[in-house]
Structures are given as structure tokens and as C-alpha cells.
């Protein structure tokens, strides 16, 4: 019974699962929080990973481990492998002007967007690593001068697990490479000319591995002694890892015809596809997946935290928020929340703020506000679903995952907003599970990852309520920008 471990180093926390490689049965798990903020010292991820591994009983008995991580984050290393400055995360919007510049420099407008979509599968937005490199070059030239290599959160953590054995040992995978803005899912090759265009010079980048290739071995001393340490670490295989959405697709067992809607810190809507996407509108990012296929994806910056914010506004916990939302009628009698609390990426409104429309004496109740928060967050994702299907994705089945899917209100209101049923797998850590399934593939070999039972899914069906989205569409663009300073 070989065991494998999967690690999810996502925005808000690090989660570790240890599973049976052949059956997928959960053996043990651990978790630890990440610091707040859109700029984070990678050492904080490492500390959280160590704590989560210790909570999961260590890695001494596993055959392989793989890391799924939040996408796009810019981790800059100097020649000695030291981190140059705190990482800028996917939800840090300071590089929005850099994204606009890169599109302008490629011809601007439709031509500029098409250039990037054709070259890299996606139109630059502030989330992507290439725009963060441009920001660094412009705003922190002394730091920029020190950078020798750039990698992503999961690449860096895999490298740390290997003992940080020099920059030449950095490894990544197709899924995460496809979110950098300087790798082409269509050709499977880096576009270092585009990295140079963004940053001003070329940098060392991780080697891109195939889906089940070995990235190295766990360094026996990397996790230290004690309960988190690995006793027999020198033979523990490291998988290539991947971005958290590609890992979630693997963990949820998504296949052709499935659309996954993930409600975590980000809201994502994505499909597993056989051919690469290139959407010049920029709504759909044509990423690669973790199995050798593709992962067209729409991402919003505002998802589970909209619910957190609504609960804070109302002074209730998330369970009560859900009860309140379900106590108001569909459409909340016309109260609409536009949920751009962090600015927004899809649509591209990096400096937008949120808004409440439709306040009357009748809608000024906690239940209406709770319902408007759930519906507004889901409407933004429904727009994403439309964009995905407009690019040719099939949506035979919608699978709802992520922390926000633990909300009964989200599960029950989603079919009313999406206009179709949703399938909800048992509550779990699908990113960590996907990383574990990749680790099992690395450990067991074969042409495809092992088939693991998905557990009992629940289907939520309810007639669609088109008025919810119609009203949201009237409100969506009526927001003001953030006040600077
Ligand atoms: N019962 C619940 N109802 C609503 N939201 C929830 C519930 N449980 C967890 N969450 C939310 O899920 C989010 C974390 O989701 P997760 O997918 O782990 O995020 P990430 O992977 O981005 O770190 C938090 O914002 C948390 O408030
Ligand atoms: O930027 C994207 C996808 O393009 C985000 O989905 C990040 O990958 C962060 O994910 P979570 O922490 O929300 O899971």
C-alpha cells in the first residue's frame, strides 16, 4: 500500500493530504494558515508547509509528493538562490498599467490582445507573472538588477523540498508555466523573447516537465527533524506539481464535458479541453492542464471572500450568512451586489470597487444583503461560464468545489443563477487531492493517473431564475474606481 502526499499552497492556507496511491483513500491530513496580503515572503509559505506537513504526520512513509500552488505569483531569486523581494501574488493589481503597456507595445487594442493570445494563450492582466516583472523593472530597478531567476510559488516550494539545490534544479509543469505570460501552451515552449520584452533582459526559468515526470527527490533534511521530518527522505520522489486550478481538475476527476467552478479566494470556471484556447477578448485564459491537455479558464478576483465580507458586515458567521441568504427570495427583491471588493480581473477592472444597487426600505434587511452577496458572486461566475462556452467549451456537467462550496446557500442558489444543475463532490481539498493523484501517477507510472473513486456527489437542481442575471447585468458596470492614496 504505497502512500503519496499532495500539498495545496493556495492563497489563504497550506493543506496537506496523505492518500493511498492505488485507491486514493485518505490516510491523514494537515493545514496551516498563510499571512494576509497580496505580497508575501515565500518563507511564510515554507513555514506553513512545514507546519501542515507536521500536522499530517510527516512524509517519512510516502513514496512521492507533489505541490499544487496558487498560480502566477512572482518569486524572484538572486544568483545564490535567495529570494530578492516578497512575492507579488496573482491578486496583486499594482501591475495593471504594465499589462496595458504590454498590450500597447504589441500593437494595442484588438491587434495587441490577439498578439498575446496567439503567442501565450492569454491576454496579459495584472495577475500574470510577465506584468509583475515589468512592474519590478520599472519601480524597483535595484531589486530588478539582482534577479537571476524567476519562478512560481509551486516551483519554489518543490525546489525547497529538494533542498534548494541551485537554480539549475528549478522545475515546473505545463499547467503553471502557462500562467506566466512567457510560455506557449500551443507550442509547449518558452517565449523568452516576451520575458525579455517585459523585463528588459532574459532570466533563468524552471525546466518545464511533462505530467508525470520526476522533479527530483525530497531532501531528507529539508523538513528538519521532529514530527514533520522525513526519515527516509532521499528516496521520496517529487512530482512536477502544478497550478492550483489544474490540480483541482485532477482532484475532482474532471474530464471532457465537465466545467469546474471553484469558489476559493479566486473564483474560477474552467474546462478540460483537447486543444488550446486563444481568446483575444481576454476573458478566457488558454492555460494548459496537468495531464497533457488544456485548461481554458476564467478567473474572478472576488469569490469566497465576498461571503466573508458580507458576514463581517452583518456581524454573523458563515453558517448564519447562508441561512439569511436562503431566507430572502430569489433576486433579493432587486437588491444587487456588484462584488468587485478587490478590483476585478474578469471583466478587466483592476481599480473598481464593489457596489450595492436597489436599496429600498424593503430590501434593507440582513437577509436581502446576504442573498445579494451570494447572487452577485455567482453572477460574476455565470458571466465566466458564458465566456467559456462561447469559446467552445462543453458544459455537460458543472462541478462546484472550493471553500465557498461549503455554503448551503451557494450550493442551492448556484443552479438558479447558472440555469442548470450543479454537482457537488463531498467536502474536501481538491487541489491537494489533485497534487496527491499526480504524485501517485509519478510513483506508480503508466500512461494516465490512477483512477480514484470520487466519493458520493450530490446534485443540486432548481429552475433557473433569469431575472437575477438580468438585474445584475444592469448594475455590473455602475461602479466607481478605488480612491488612491
Ligand atoms: N461554510 C462556508 N461557507 C462559506 N464560505 C466558506 C465556508 N467554509 C469556508 N469558506 C471560505 O472558503 C475560503 C477558503 O477557500 P479555499 O478554497 O480553501 O481558498 P484558497 O484555496 O484560495 O486558499 C475562505 O474565504 C472561507 O471563508
Ligand atoms: O489566478 C488564478 C487563476 O488564474 C487563481 O485561481 C490563483 O491560482 C489563486 O487560486 P486560489 O487561491 O483562489 O485557489
Distance (Å) of CA 327 to CA 316, 342, 377: 15, 27, 18
Give tens-digit pLDDT for 48-89.
999 999 999 999 999 999 999 999 999 999 999 999 999 999
Average pLDDT score, the chain: 96
Whose Cα sits closest to atom 22 in ligand 1? 265
Whose Cα sits closest to atom 9 in ligand 1? 403
pLDDT at 458 over 80: yes
What is the SS3 assignment for 482? Answer: coil
Closest ligand 2 atom, residue 127 Cα:
1
Q: Which residues contact 201 (CB under 8 A, 6 or more apart)?
A: none
- State which of 304, 399, 402 you would mutate to test the pocket of ligand 1, scoring each by most atoms of that ligand within 8 A of its C-beta: 304
Pocket of ligand 2 (CB under 6 A): 10-11, 70-72, 90, 127, 179, 243-245, 264-266, 268, 297, 299
Distance (Å) of CA 352 to CA 37, 313, 340, 482: 18, 19, 6, 6
**DSSP H or E stretch at residue 45:** helix 42-55
CA distance 420 to 372: 20
Q: In this predicted structure, what is the pLDDT of residue 232? A: 45
What is the SS3 assignment for 331? Answer: coil
User: How far does residue 365's CA lie from ligand 2's centre (Å)?
Assistant: 32
CA distance 371 to 176: 35
Which parts are annotated binding residues for substrate?
A: 71-72
Residue of 263, 276, 267 whose CA lies nearest to 117: 276
Interstrand relation of 171-173 and 26-33 (parallel, antiparallel or unpaired): unpaired
Q: Hey, which bits of 155-212 come out as E strands?
A: 171-173, 183-184, 189-190, 207-209
Whose Cα sits closest to atom 5 in ligand 1? 404
The answer to whether ipTM exceeds 0.90 is yes
Closest ligand 2 atom, residue 264 Cα:
13
Give tens-digit pLDDT for 459-479.
999 999 999 999 999 999 999
CA distance 172 to 210: 9
User: How far does residue 2's CA lie from ligand 2's centre (Å)?
Assistant: 30
Span of 1-5, 104-108, 245-249, 336-340 with lowest mean pLDDT: 1-5
Ligand number nearest CA of 122 is 2
How far does Cα 465 stand from its chain's mean position? 29
Q: In this predicted structure, what is the pLDDT of residue 279? A: 97
CA distance 77 to 160: 12
Q: In this predicted structure, what is the pLDDT of residue 229? A: 44
Give tens-digit pLDDT for 210-254.
999 999 999 989 998 544 444 444 589 999 999 999 999 999 999
CB neighbourhood size of 321 (10 A):
26
Q: In this predicted structure, what is the pLDDT of residue 454? A: 79
Distance (Å) of CA 230 to CA 37, 52, 234, 436: 31, 14, 9, 17
Give tens-digit pLDDT for 261-291.
999 999 999 999 999 999 999 999 999 999 9
CA distance 227 to 249: 31
CA distance 18 to 66: 11
pLDDT at 394 over 80: yes
Q: In this predicted structure, what is the pLDDT of residue 485? A: 56
CA distance 378 to 388: 15
Q: What is the pTM of this model?
A: 0.96
Beta-bridged to residue 26, according to DSSP, are: 19
Give tens-digit pLDDT for 9-18.
999 999 999 9
Percent of the chain with pLDDT over 70: 98
User: How far does residue 385's CA lie from ligand 2's centre (Å)?
Assistant: 16
pLDDT at 108 over 80: yes
Q: Which residues are known to be catalytic?
A: 244
Q: In this predicted structure, what is the pLDDT of residue 298? A: 98
- State which of 12, 67, 245, 263 you would mutate to test the pocket of ligand 2, scoring each by most atoms of that ligand within 8 A of its C-beta: 245
Q: Determine if ligand 1 sits within 6 Å of the CB of residue 305.
A: yes
Q: Determine if ligand 1 sits within 6 Å of the CB of residue 31.
A: no
Residue of 167, 151, 132, 156 whose CA lies nearest to 42: 156
CA distance 224 to 24: 27
User: How far does residue 129's CA lie from ligand 2's centre (Å)?
Assistant: 13
Contact between residue 217 and residue 230 where contact means Cβ atoms under 8 Å apart: no
The angle at the Cα of 307, spanning 302 to 310, to the nearest 5 degrees, equals 110
Closest ligand 2 atom, residue 268 Cα:
6
Residue of 263, 180, 229, 212 whose CA lies nearest to 445: 212
Q: In this predicted structure, what is the pLDDT of residue 225? A: 58
Q: In this predicted structure, what is the pLDDT of residue 468? A: 98
Question: If you count them, how many residues does the chain have?
Answer: 485
Distance (Å) of CA 127 to CA 50, 133, 134, 278, 369: 27, 11, 12, 17, 29
Q: Which residues contact 174 (CB under 8 A, 6 or more apart)?
A: 185, 188, 208, 210, 211, 242, 288, 289, 290, 292
Give tens-digit pLDDT for 355-385.
999 999 999 999 999 999 999 999 999 999 9
Residue 60 is classified by DSSP as T
Amino acid at each position: 500500500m504505497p502512500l503519496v502526499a499532495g500539498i495545496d499552497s493556495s492563497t489563504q492556507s497550506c493543506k496537506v493530504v496523505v492518500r493511498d496511491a492505488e485507491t486514493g483513500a485518505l490516510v491523514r491530513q494537515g493545514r496551516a494558515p498563510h499571512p494576509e496580503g497580496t505580497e508575501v515572503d515565500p518563507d511564510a509559505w515554507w513555514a506553513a508547509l512545514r507546519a501542515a506537513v507536521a500536522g499530517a504526520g510527516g512524509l517519512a512513509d510516502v513514496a512521492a509528493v507533489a505541490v499544487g500552488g496558487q498560480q502566477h505569483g512572482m518569486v524572484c531569486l538572486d544568483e545564490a538562490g535567495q529570494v530578492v523581494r516578497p512575492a507579488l501574488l496573482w491578486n496583486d493589481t499594482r501591475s495593471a498599467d504594465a499589462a496595458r503597456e504590454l498590450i500597447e507595445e504589441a500593437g494595442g487594442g484588438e491587434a495587441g490582445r490577439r498578439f498575446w493570445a496567439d503567442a501565450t494563450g492569454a491576454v496579459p492582466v495584472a495577475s500574470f507573472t510577465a506584468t509583475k516583472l515589468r512592474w519590478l523593472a520599472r519601480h524597483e530597478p535595484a531589486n530588478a538588477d539582482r534577479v537571476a531567476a524567476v519562478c512560481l510559488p509551486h516551483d519554489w516550494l518543490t525546489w525547497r523540498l529538494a533542498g534548494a539545490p541551485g537554480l539549475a534544479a528549478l522545475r515546473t509543469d505545463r499547467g503553471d508555466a502557462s500562467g506566466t505570460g512567457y510560455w506557449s501552451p500551443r507550442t509547449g515552449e518558452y517565449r523568452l523573447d516576451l520575458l525579455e520584452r517585459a523585463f528588459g533582459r532574459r532570466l533563468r526559468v524552471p525546466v518545464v516537465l511533462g505530467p508525470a515526470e520526476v522533479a527530483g527527490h525530497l531532501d531528507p533534511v529539508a523538513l528538519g527533524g521532529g514530527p514533520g521530518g522525513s526519515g527516509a527522505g532521499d528516496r521520496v520522489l517529487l512530482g512536477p506539481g502544478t497550478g492550483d486550478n489544474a490540480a483541482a481538475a485532477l482532484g475532482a476527476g474532471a474530464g471532457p464535458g465537465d466545467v469546474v467552478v471553484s469558489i476559493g479566494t479566486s473564483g474560477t470556471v474552467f474546462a478540460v479541453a483537447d486543444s488550446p484556447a486563444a481568446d483575444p477578448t481576454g476573458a478566457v485564459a488558454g492555460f494548459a492542464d496537468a495531464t497533457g491537455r488544456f485548461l481554458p479558464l476564467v478567473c474572478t478576483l472576488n469569490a469566497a471572500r465576498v461571503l466573508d465580507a458580507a458576514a463581517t458586515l452583518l456581524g454573523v458567521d458563515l453558517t448564519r450568512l447562508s441561512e439569511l441568504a436562503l431566507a430572502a427570495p430569489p433576486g433579493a427583491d432587486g437588491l444587487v451586489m456588484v462584488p468587485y471588493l478587490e478590483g476585478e480581473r474578469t471583466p478587466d477592472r483592476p481599480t473598481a470597487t464593489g457596489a450595492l444597487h436597489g436599496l429600498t426600505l424593503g430590501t434593507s434587511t440582513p437577509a436581502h444583503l446576504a442573498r445579494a452577496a451570494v447572487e452577485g458572486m455567482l453572477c460574476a461566475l455565470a458571466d465566466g461560464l458564458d465566456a467559456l462556452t462561447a469559446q467552445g467549451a462543453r458544459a455537460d456537467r458543472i462541478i462546484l468545489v472550493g471553500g465557498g462550496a461549503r455554503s448551503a446557500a451557494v450550493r442551492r442558489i448556484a443552479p438558479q443563477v447558472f440555469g442548470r444543475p450543479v454537482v457537488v463532490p463531498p467536502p474536501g481539498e481538491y487541489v491537494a487531492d489533485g497534487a496527491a493523484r499526480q504524485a501517485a501517477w509519478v510513483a506508480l507510472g503508466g500512461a494516465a493517473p490512477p483512477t480514484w473513486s470520487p466519493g458520493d456527489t450530490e446534485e443540486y437542481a432548481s429552475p433557473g431564475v433569469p431575472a437575477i442575471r438580468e438585474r445584475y447585468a444592469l448594475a455590473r458596470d455602475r461602479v466607481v474606481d478605488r480612491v488612491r492614496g
